[in-house]
Amino acid sequence: MSPTWMGKCSHCSAWDTIVEKVEIHSEPNCASAVFATTVDEFGGSIEAIELLDIEAPNVGRLQTGIGELDRVLGGGLVVGGVVLVGGDPGIGKSTLMMQSAIGTVKANEEGTTVLYATSEESAYQCKMRGERVVEGFDNASLKGVYLLADTDLERITAQVLKIRPKLLIIDSIQMVYRRDLNSTPGSVSQIKRCCLELVYLARKLQMAVMIVGHVTKEGQLAGPRVLEHLVDVVLNFEGDRHYALRGLRGAKNRFGTTLEIGLFEMGERGLIEVEDAAAYLDPEAPPRAGAIVCPALHGSRCLLIEVQALVASGTVGQARRRSNGLDGARLPMLIAVLEQHAQLEMNDKDIYTSTVGGLKLIEPAVDLAVCTAMMSGAMNIVLPSNMCAIGEVGLGGEIRSVPQIEQRIAQARRRGYKSLLVPITQEKMGGSGCIGMASIGALGAFLQKNANRAQSKMQLSDGEKKRFTECY
Ligand SMILES: Nc1ncnc2c1ncn2[C@@H]1O[C@H](COP(=O)(O)OP(=O)(O)O)[C@@H](O)[C@H]1O
Ligand SMILES: [Mg+2]
């Protein structure tokens, strides 16, 4: 036997006779071996059943006490379900987990316990965070939350069996490992195996599990995408670390819709729920070229978000096109539509687009707002500050209708936006103040007319004048 490869056997001196043999560990004493002995033990059936004979199980839910989180989850954590929470470092995943842990103990029946297994921070660091996020902290407010600073899955499982929590939090899965696997912690096989075992555990013990995962530089949930297939719910925590606004979005949900978005603001006392992103808009701000507000839908909610565009001179062939918070793949298409149908020369222009606050806008209904911002930026036309735009742009330059226009318009009106650029097909539906746009060409003509009118009588209110003088 030799621990390394050798060409010649040191015993019999024969060449090329050494064969590699991989050592296989005996069946480990692990959660899956203990629990997953039969299929039906974790919710499966060993015999085929006719659909009509299957009875709806009573899906129990645990409230986390955080309204925005419960809504994204579809009404709370499902007992026996596993939730994977991803997001960039420093975005606030651990903060959300700690708040959920404390909230779950409070919001559910007496005696509910939560086990928080941390692998990245010390127990004391976690306690500090707990103290920070509880308003009017006293030690009793942390009752029922157990902390375990360990990364060994077997020991975590042992503690779960001892404490029998209703909710288990793993922060984060990247460091959790199984001793009997050869691979290093954080490797694909370790993460996948540990996650699978946590799924078994959740089903078997009927407890909810929340797992934190990191996001790689490419923006994907680290620890391969395979994790996404193993769990029931995948939530992405997004937003710009430099802004306080955070969005929690469902990428997959076996127990509810993925359209919802939960809004939070990172503050001194942890994450605070935000009712409406419009709080981030400043209706009194002086109007600028290259910016317009868009009523975008996120699940059952309509949020008003400002879209900005900067059109600067660049070099032909090396023009830069960047988008922050918008669909990067759609931007070149919209630019091409502007060139073709509004006769704008953009090939020597650098174009940067962005949403304010760091929230992502991915629905095609924001196209018209992006195009309006780009055109207004390129033509240096200042739009009235109480104007917003919604509509999808087609390859032919036509403006297409968008879903739920009434809800969007109602929300915009509620927030004081009086004139609305909408698809011409939906102008009537929108009522007064709606300006129907048939095509990108029509939008160009409209902006031009607006510019002429604005030049001749651009009236500023006293508040705006004051701001102008303060700003410049
Ligand atoms: N003492 C503090 N006061 C205010 N904000 C803090 C404090 N400590 C951390 N934060 C905020 O919390 C964020 C880190 O949150 P955390 O939940 O640890 O993120 P993650 O787990 O996603 O890496 C920091 O970016 C910072 O904004
Ligand atoms: Mg963390």
Between CA 70 and CA 166 the distance in angstroms is 16
* 202-243 confidence digits (pLDDT tens): 998 999 999 998 766 555 555 446 788 889 999 988 887 777
What atom in ligand 1 is closest to the CA of residue 98?
17
Between CA 72 and CA 261 the distance in angstroms is 6
- Domains (range + CATH), the chain: 60-275 (3.40.50.300), 279-459 (3.30.230.10)
- Output the CA–CA distances (angstroms, integers) from residue 418 to 375, 384, 388, 411, in the order listed: 21, 10, 8, 11
Between CA 56 and CA 206 the distance in angstroms is 16
Between CA 169 and CA 75 the distance in angstroms is 18
Token pair of 223, please?
């620890």
User: What pLDDT score was predicted for residue 467?
Assistant: 47
> Could you tell me the distance, in angstroms and rounded to a whole number, from the CA of residue 120 to the centre of ligand 2?
7
4 closest CA partner among 23, 18, 14: 18
Between CA 284 and CA 294 the distance in angstroms is 17
- Output the CA–CA distances (angstroms, integers) from residue 74 to 78, 82, 112, 260, 344, in the order listed: 9, 14, 21, 8, 45
- Phi and psi dihedrals of 213, rounded to 5? -125, 155
What atom in ligand 1 is closest to the CA of residue 96?
17
Between CA 326 and CA 196 the distance in angstroms is 34
Token pair of 64, please?
């986390």
Q: What beta strand segments (E) does 39-143 contain?
A: 61-62, 77-78, 82-87, 114-118
For ligand 2, a single-atom ion, the residues with CB < 5 A are 94
> Could you tell me the distance, in angstroms and rounded to a whole number, from the CA of residue 88 to the centre of ligand 2?
9
**What's the one-letter identity of residue 163?**
I
Name the closest ligand to CA 174.
2
Between CA 259 and CA 254 the distance in angstroms is 13
Name the closest ligand to CA 248.
1
Number of Cβ within 10 Å of residue 65's Cβ equals 18
* 8-21 confidence digits (pLDDT tens): 888 888 887 777 66
Angle at 277 between CA 276 and CA 283, to 5 degrees: 105
> Could you tell me the distance, in angstroms and rounded to a whole number, from the CA of residue 95 to the centre of ligand 1?
7
Between CA 317 and CA 329 the distance in angstroms is 18
User: What pLDDT score was predicted for residue 114?
Assistant: 96
Q: Whose CA is nearest to atom 16 of ligand 1?
A: 92
Conformation bin of residue 129: beta by default, left when phi > 0, alpha when psi is -120 to 50: alpha
Between CA 468 and CA 7 the distance in angstroms is 81
Residue whose tokens read 């509509």: 391
What atom in ligand 1 is closest to the CA of residue 121?
18
Ligand 1 site-directed mutation target among 66, 69, 93, 95, most atoms within 8 Å of CB: 95
Ligand 1 site-directed mutation target among 94, 121, 126, 170, most atoms within 8 Å of CB: 94
> Could you tell me the distance, in angstroms and rounded to a whole number, from the CA of residue 211 to the centre of ligand 1?
18
Beta bridge partners of residue 400, listed in sequence order: 392
Q: What beta strand segments (E) does 335-384 contain?
A: 349-355
How many helical (H) and strand (E) elements, i.e. helices and strands, does the chain have? 13, 20
Within 6 Å (CB) of ligand 1, which residues are found? 87, 89-95, 132, 266, 268
User: What pLDDT score was predicted for residue 289?
Assistant: 87
Contacts of 377 (CB under 8 A, 6+ apart): 289, 290, 309, 310, 311
Q: Whose CA is nearest to atom 6 of ligand 1?
A: 268
For residues 154 and 193, the answer to whether their CB atoms sit within 8 Å is no
Residue whose tokens read 């409406």: 276
Contacts of 404 (CB under 8 A, 6+ apart): 297, 302
- Low-confidence residues of the chain: pLDDT under 50: 24, 26-39, 223-224, 465, 467-472
Between CA 454 and CA 153 the distance in angstroms is 66
Name the closest ligand to CA 119.
2
Token pair of 94, please?
């651990």
What atom in ligand 1 is closest to the CA of residue 97?
17
* 294-343 confidence digits (pLDDT tens): 999 877 788 888 999 999 998 888 899 999 889 889 999 999 999 999 98
> Could you tell me the distance, in angstroms and rounded to a whole number, from the CA of residue 189 to the centre of ligand 2?
22
